[in-house]
Amino acid sequence: MTDQFWANQSVIVTGGAGFLGSYVVEALRARGAGKVFVVRSREYDLRHEAATKQLLKDVPATMIIHMAAVVGGIGANRAHPGKFFYENIMMGTMLMEQARLAGIHKFVAVGTICEYPKITPIPFREENLWDGYPEETNAPYGLAKKMLLVQGNAYRQEYGFNSIHLLPVNLYGPRDNFHPSSSHVIPALIKKCFDAIQNGDLEIEIWGDGSPTREFVYVKDAAEGIVLAAERYNGADPVNIGSGNEISIRDLALLIAELTGFTGKFRFDPSQPNGQPRRQLDVSRAREQFGFSASTSFRDGLRESVEWYRAQIKEGVSIR
């Protein structure tokens, strides 16, 4: 059934050349998807209506998996709140409208954990999504992505449009973004540890006080969850994609130090923002609705991420 389902699909994947997207594309091709088209921004700038229309004219499709996004860590979100809001909301809103007009059978909107309120009971349950305002440093980004949920449900109600909304937690794994100005916490810490070892530094600075907790899901697991939802889930309710486990930033730093071989100290800077106090998801809906459970242990996935980065350094590869 799975093979037959995907053999009949022509799938447009926005963000398919990115970190998560590349794994989703691999998972689709492994399942024998009839056609997978990876959208490149240099060919189709989805911030513009004309380009979005042209994409759907050029590529007849049955499904769209929308992952294209302007993303970054706390620093990038603080520096570019307007850019993050405008570009994310324009890409998603126009793409879904044009998908509806083009008769796309299914629209898979990949949102973000940043859609949740700053203070959300642990574990985060999908029904808590509207209980407050998101954490301030990433609210413009989170709300822009959250509007895809509103739009999708409105289109479902008025037009019978099949749009689903997924909420992946923080991702990590090989091929992540390690650029210091836009990376998230795991690749940022891995790079800082390797840089400190190379430079002989005995101390690494980390923003915040180290107390916030985060949940992480290995990128291959997240891709599996997205593809399973694309195949099996057709509901209006949003669905968390995560591992169900949390770790403090302080403990995360110590674990990365162990795996990288950094033996110095961490200096936390409480004058810098912590971000959301805690993040841990209730992942039962994904398991019940389409059979997804993350299978990679955090330590194993983190070790693979560290070893991948170590290999890039040895090979002299320039990493963004």
Q: Are 31 and 65 in contact (CB under 8 A)?
A: no
E strand residue ranges, 111-245: 163-168, 170-172, 203-207, 213-218, 239-241
Residue ranges per structural domain of the chain = 2-174+216-243+280-295
| Residue bearing tokens 């954990």 | 113
DSSP 208: B
Q: Are 214 and 256 in contact (CB under 8 A)?
A: no
Report which of 26, 100, 24 is spatially closest to residue 56, judged by C-alpha positions.
100
Fold of the 2-174+216-243+280-295 domain? Rossmann fold (3.40.50)
Give residue-wise pLDDT tens across range 55-81. Answer: 999 999 999 999 999 877 777 778 889
Q: Are strands 213-218 and 246-248 parallel, antiparallel or unpaired?
A: antiparallel
Q: Are 212 and 158 in contact (CB under 8 A)?
A: no
Report which of 225, 222, 216 is spatially closest to residue 246, judged by C-alpha positions.
216
E strand residue ranges, the chain: 10-14, 35-39, 63-66, 106-110, 163-168, 170-172, 203-207, 213-218, 239-241, 246-248, 265-269
Q: Are strands 35-39 and 170-172 parallel, antiparallel or unpaired?
A: unpaired
pTM over 0.85? The answer is: yes
Write down the catalytic residue from 141, 172, 218, 233: 141
Q: Is 218 a catalytic residue?
A: no
pLDDT classification of 316: cutoffs 50, 70, 90: confident
Give residue-wise pLDDT tens across range 202-242. Answer: 999 999 999 999 999 999 999 999 999 999 999 999 999 99
pLDDT over 60 at 145, yes or no? yes
Structure tokens at 31: 């399942």
